[in-house]
Structure 1
């Protein structure tokens, strides 16, 4: 069975992501595993060595397990109350252990063969700090699995249109194949979009677009795929326009060190993107060839 891993710190944003994840799991017919990385108190970290009283760890471990158990039972009751005849109820598990969030999540993904990681975002004002600072930036940089980031106030209302932002790289076709498998379960449109800067050789740019779309037609067996170019000198502003006017339910993109997503990680671009992305953001690692659905 497919599995979705959901890191949680028990915050409202994490709980909202957990509720959203249940709907995704129902469509994917996937199991769910919540996890919590127990943070080592800074006072006990000295010279790279951890000296942590066992009784402190035991207390924190018990507290984490109690929170996870409550979360599991709460969401199980909610989905049973909302479900109708023939509804799929994801099996919900949980785990906790001491360690860094990114390391622990990667270990669980490998051990459980998880197809997807879903995490919460604290909201537009904190998007830059959470996604492009601390744990989530490191998670995106080091992950070899897809990550779906859920805004704090996002409510699941179905997925009718997914925008896939691409730089027209041939490698993106494999990712698009995986995305199409997920879109098929929701009967969702995939809107391929490429943000174009002002260019002198319009014919050459159009040739790149036409070549990519021909490959899509030949290699991706999904009929509900469309293309829309966005004219803007800045990728972040182009995506902001798309988020505001494109009526999309999810934005998907590939993380690569250069030159696409990295441009979004620099300088003031993050602030603009933070304001733009009020829909769930699905980030694939470069060269991803796995199966989401």
Structure 2
């Protein structure tokens, strides 16, 4: 990883994400660009310079955990842009070509609909969303929740490369419902087939009985170290559910473990790993019976 783009709105909530990104970049020797989207339709030269001065002051002040205004020793690029945030970010990504985008979960407010949309509509490159209560610690365990039978090997290999660049170990998780106990042999074969296509032989594969993928992540985080969760989806459904306050009984994992969401085409909405997919499947079955 060579370039990290950090989004900020200069709010108190964004400070934690900025510091998280700064520590991540320092640990991996990554170049940083800090971006502030004003939301205005256009900017005058004076307005551009004023916002840029605020952004540089923000970068220096909050790089220091004590909050004292000190010059940041780590070189940080600062950019201010006008226009609709998602489009403005897309333009910068196209020009600067960052390897990773970092934002707080407040970035999801740019979703104007509760209905899932194509992931690339929201994120023009791989993106990590940092929960409000996340505290940076060296990333040693990357946990990828997927479907062993519906996984693009190239995406899986890309996740392994990201983990290697961070000096982390990767665990691939497949959650299956109780009704699929009879398919464990097949799931194991799929895991072995996927593993054979990866260059990183140290990747761990685990099968866990759980009807709902997000509830499974919550239980996993309670009993195992997870510094970064990864999902590879084609739309924003699981991303929205991950940060939805009312979705689960326990809010432990999604308030402290950052989420890396990558794009991948799927045979099912999100690899049949959540209640949304189960209801989708039930609807199709009822429709087929009706016909």
1:190 counterpart = 2:173: no
1:64 counterpart = 2:51: yes
1:211 counterpart = 2:190: yes
Distance 1:254 1:152 in 2: 22
Do the aligned partners of residues 267 and 9 (structure 1) sit closer, same or farther apart at CA in structure 2, a change above 3 Å counting? closer
1:21 counterpart = 2:21: yes
Do the aligned partners of residues 135 and 150 (structure 1) sit closer, same or farther apart at CA in structure 2, a change above 3 Å counting? farther
Q: Match for 1:239 among 209, 217, 221?
A: 217
SS in 2 for 1:94: strand
Q: Which 5+ residue runs of structure 1 have no aligned equivalent?
A: 41-49, 79-88, 123-129, 288-293
Q: Match for 1:165 among 145, 154, 161?
A: 145
Aligned to 2:102: 118
Q: TM-score, normalised by structure 1?
A: 0.73
SS in 2 for 1:145: coil
Distance 1:280 1:184 in 2: 18
Aligned to 1:3: 3
Q: Is 1:250–1:281's contact at 8 Å kept on the other side of the alignment?
A: yes
Deviation readout 1:47-90 (Å, 9 max, x if unpaired) = xxx6x7x7xx5565344212211133346677xxxxxxxxxx75
Q: How many residues align?
A: 252
The higher relative CO (CA closer than 8 Å, separation ≥ 6) is in 1
Aligned to 1:46: none
Shift of the alpha carbon at 1:12? 2.2
Q: Comparing 204-213 with 225-234, which one deviates more in the overlay?
A: 204-213
Do the aligned partners of residues 268 and 105 (structure 1) sit closer, same or farther apart at CA in structure 2, a change above 3 Å counting? closer
Aligned to 1:272: 247
SS in 2 for 1:153: coil
Do the aligned partners of residues 28 and 99 (structure 1) sit closer, same or farther apart at CA in structure 2, a change above 3 Å counting? same
Do the aligned partners of residues 144 and 169 (structure 1) sit closer, same or farther apart at CA in structure 2, a change above 3 Å counting? farther
Q: Is 2:37–2:82's contact at 8 Å kept on the other side of the alignment?
A: yes
Q: Is 2:8–2:36's contact at 8 Å kept on the other side of the alignment?
A: yes
Shift of the alpha carbon at 1:282? 0.6
Shift of the alpha carbon at 1:13? 2.4
Q: Match for 2:111 among 104, 110, 134?
A: 134
Q: Is 1:163–1:193's contact at 8 Å kept on the other side of the alignment?
A: yes
Q: Which 5+ residue runs of structure 2 have no aligned equivalent?
A: 66-72, 266-291
Q: TM-score, normalised by structure 2?
A: 0.74
